[in-house]
């Protein structure tokens, strides 16, 4: 992973804004901090993150970890939606999380041997798992280095602020992701750090 990051930083440094973000955040990047060998648990945490702030997600994930600690997949499946709602998970997300544990209790595919598209298609067959969740799984669990999620609002906002682009459309995203490839995942990590810390290239230049 360290070698991939070093290669990524070298490649991304050709972009002056990425170069700025690398200098600001490379010491903070911990690509493996969200990895979980339990795929169901990993995806459950990603479902919790859907459409809520970084701060709120961290709080709810900590509660979820405490609630499910030591429990088997079957025991999590048997939990009531009310139990999950009591820690800040919506009723719909509670259903989705149990769907995920149900799915992985009967499916045992080798996701690491699949292509990015195959993983996305496979995971999106689970009710409650969409493209964004599958893409985050690719980045944080399978450590695929060329993933960018155009539906991630934080990424789009970070691009707007750092690149002074008022409206980030498909053509703007394509141009940037083409230049960042094959390290779009690492570019994403840097953009997330930027927006989370509210430090942008435009504020310094």
Average pLDDT over residues 78-84: 95
CA atoms within 13 A on the CB side of 14: 11
pLDDT band at 204 (very low <50, low <70, confident <90, very high): confident
CA atoms within 13 A on the CB side of 1: 14
Residue-wise pLDDT for 8-38, tens only, equals 999 999 999 999 999 999 999 999 988 999 9
In the chain, what are the domains? 2-31+148-203 (1.10.1670.40), 39-140 (1.10.340.30)
Q: Which residues lie closer than 8 Å to 131 by C-beta, 6 or more apart?
A: 120, 124, 149, 151
Which bin fits 169, alpha (ψ -120 to 50), beta or left (φ > 0)?
beta
The whole model's pTM is what?
0.94
Residues in the chain: 205
């Amino acid at each position: 992973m360290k070698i991939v990051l070093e290669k990524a930083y070298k490649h991304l440094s050709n972009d002056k804004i990425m170069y700025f973000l690398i200098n600001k955040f490379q010491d903070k990047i911990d690509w493996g901090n969200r990895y979980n060998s339990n795929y169901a648990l990993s995806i459950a945490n990603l479902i919790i993150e859907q459409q809520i702030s970084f701060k709120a997600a961290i709080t709810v994930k900590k509660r979820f970890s405490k609630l499910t600690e030591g429990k088997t997949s079957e025991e999590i499946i048997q939990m009531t939606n009310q139990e999950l709602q009591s820690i800040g998970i919506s009723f719909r997300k509670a259903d989705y999380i149990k769907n995920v544990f149900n799915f992985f209790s009967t499916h045992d595919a080798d996701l690491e041997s699949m292509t990015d598209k195959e993983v996305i298609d496979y995971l999106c067959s689970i009710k409650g798992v969409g493209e964004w969740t599958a893409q985050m799984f690719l980045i944080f669990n399978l450590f695929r280095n060329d993933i960018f999620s155009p539906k991630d609002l934080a990424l789009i906002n970070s691009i707007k602020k750092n690149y002074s682009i008022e409206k980030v459309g498909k053509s703007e995203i394509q141009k940037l992701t083409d230049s960042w490839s094959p390290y779009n995942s690492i570019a994403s990590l840097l953009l997330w750090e930027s927006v989370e810390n509210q430090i942008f290239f435009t504020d310094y230049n």
